[in-house]
């Protein structure tokens, strides 16, 4: 705003020009200068003064700059909540001139992967302020490099290496474990997942990488479509002649095996994944966009229900209409606008 010259006759008096715009970094820096020994960040386990915080931010910003990260870049943040590291990671990103993209520490790896990809982050802050490069937007092909990326678990890393890059690495999911248990061990129900599953499946793979990747896909499809959990179609199975479970006369699982399997399934109860599923059931069964009250009726724990609904909206699996109702994406109107009156 320009200063206006005093003009008493018109009752117009001069005003000062607007102060210069300040960013959060400018304000934080000024506060550090004014109150260096005051507490800036405090958690249950640590206290950081403003002078200490300046040193930390300078150090972390230098690490980011050394990786070529600066203004215009985005940095993912996935650091345990309630820690000073979380605030240091966020402020360090801003201190370096970049923007931050947060994902809750407890969110599923799949959601973190989606957020990082959609935001095109250049790097990710993880636990203990580890900074992991995102390989210039290119997905690495090496399993160890993939595992080093925050939000990438063992299964995802191996699936990418095998299916995207045709590498000879075992990919083990529930379907593969079930097929192996029946085909090689003669047991209807697979045991608890363990590291030995990888070695067992790897021993089955052909040496040629692309053939191995093709076999990994085949095992997964076989378990999903033929060797199913409750009603296996053994007559359609290409492994029937060599199946240990068939050779043993298709024995029923023992009482102990059933009890262990039931215990593993019960771990699903009460999780965010279950609540997400219940909300999706409401939306799938709806004939029109549903109000919040229908969502509320699906699960009694309000904070967990809210968290699950928010994650579905963020993941693009559900959407909210302009009038505050909820539906599957584009279910009742191309623009997500409720057609109810």
Supply the DSSP string of 84-111, one letter for each residue. HHHHHHHHHHHHTT-EEEE--TTS-HHH
CATH topology of domain 24-152: Rossmann fold (3.40.50)
pLDDT in tens, the chain (341 residues): 444 555 555 555 555 566 677 888 888 999 999 998 999 998 777 889 999 999 999 999 998 888 888 898 899 999 888 888 899 999 999 999 999 999 988 888 778 888 888 888 888 888 888 877 665 555 678 888 777 665 567 788 888 889 888 999 999 988 999 999 999 999 998 887 788 899 999 999 999 999 999 999 999 999 989 999 888 999 999 999 999 999 999 998 888 777 776 666 555 567 888 888 899 889 888 888 898 988 988 898 888 888 888 888 877 788 888 778 888 877 775 443 333 33
Residue 95 is predicted with a pLDDT of 94
Residue 143 is predicted with a pLDDT of 84
Q: What is the pLDDT of residues 115-148, one digit of tens each?
A: 888 888 888 888 888 877 665 555 678 888 777 6
Residue 336 is predicted with a pLDDT of 38
**Running DSSP on this structure, what letter comes out for residue 139?**
P
User: What token pair was written down for 146?
Assistant: 């993939």
Runs of H (alpha helix) within the chain? 24-34, 50-66, 84-95, 109-119, 143-147, 154-159, 174-180, 196-202, 209-225, 244-247, 255-266, 272-284, 292-296, 302-315
Residue 2 is predicted with a pLDDT of 47
C-alpha 194/C-alpha 186 separation (Å) is 18
CATH number of the domain at 167-266, out of 3.30.300.20, 3.30.1600.10, 3.30.160.20, 1.10.1670.10? Answer: 1.10.1670.10
Q: What are the extents of the domains in the chain? A: 24-152, 167-266, 272-327
Count other C-beta atoms under 10 Å from residue 276's C-beta: 21
List CB contacts of 273: < 8 A, sequence separation 6 or more: 108
User: What's the full length of the chain, in residues?
Assistant: 341
Q: What is the pLDDT of residues 177-230, one digit of tens each?
A: 999 999 999 999 888 778 889 999 999 999 999 999 999 999 999 998 999 988
In whole angstroms, how far apart are CA 200 and each of 131, 183, 230?
Answer: 34, 12, 23
């Amino acid at each position: 705003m320009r200063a206006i010259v005093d003009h008493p006759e018109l009752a117009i008096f001069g005003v000062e020009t607007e102060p210069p715009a300040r960013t959060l970094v400018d304000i934080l820096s000024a506060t550090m200068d004014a109150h260096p020994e005051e507490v800036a960040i405090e958690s249950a386990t640590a206290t950081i003064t403003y002078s200490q915080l300046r040193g930390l931010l300078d150090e972390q910003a230098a690490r980011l700059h050394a990786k070529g990260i600066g203004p215009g870049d985005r940095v993912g943040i996935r650091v345990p909540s309630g820690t000073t590291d979380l605030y240091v990671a966020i402020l360090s990103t801003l201190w370096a001139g970049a923007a931050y993209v947060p994902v809750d520490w407890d969110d599923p790896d799949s959601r973190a992967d989606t957020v990082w990809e959609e935001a095109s982050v250049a790097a990710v802050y993880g636990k203990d302020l580890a900074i992991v490069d995102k390989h210039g937007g290119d997905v690495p092909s090496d399993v160890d490099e993939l595992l080093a990326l925050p939000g990438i678990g063992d299964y995802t890393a191996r699936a990418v290496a095998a299916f995207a890059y045709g590498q000879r690495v075992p990919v083990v999911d529930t379907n593969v474990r079930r097929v192996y248990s029946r085909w090689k061990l003669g047991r209807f129900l697979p045991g608890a997942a363990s590291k030995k599953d990888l070695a067992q499946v790897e021993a089955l793979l052909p040496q040629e990488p692309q053939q191995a990747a093709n076999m990994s896909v085949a095992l997964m499809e076989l378990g999903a479509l033929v060797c199913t959990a409750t009603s296996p179609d053994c007559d359609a199975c290409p492994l029937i002649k060599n199946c240990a479970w068939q050779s043993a006369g298709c024995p029923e699982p023992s009482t102990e095996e059933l009890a262990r399997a039931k215990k593993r399934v019960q771990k699903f109860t009460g999780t965010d994944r279950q609540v997400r599923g219940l909300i999706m059931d409401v939306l799938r069964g709806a004939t029109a966009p549903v109000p919040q009250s229908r969502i509320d009726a699906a699960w009694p724990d309000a904070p967990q229900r809210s968290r699950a609904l928010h994650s579905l909206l963020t993941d693009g699996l559900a959407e909210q209409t302009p009038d505050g109702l909820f539906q599957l994406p584009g279910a009742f109107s191309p623009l997500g606008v409720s057609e109810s009156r």
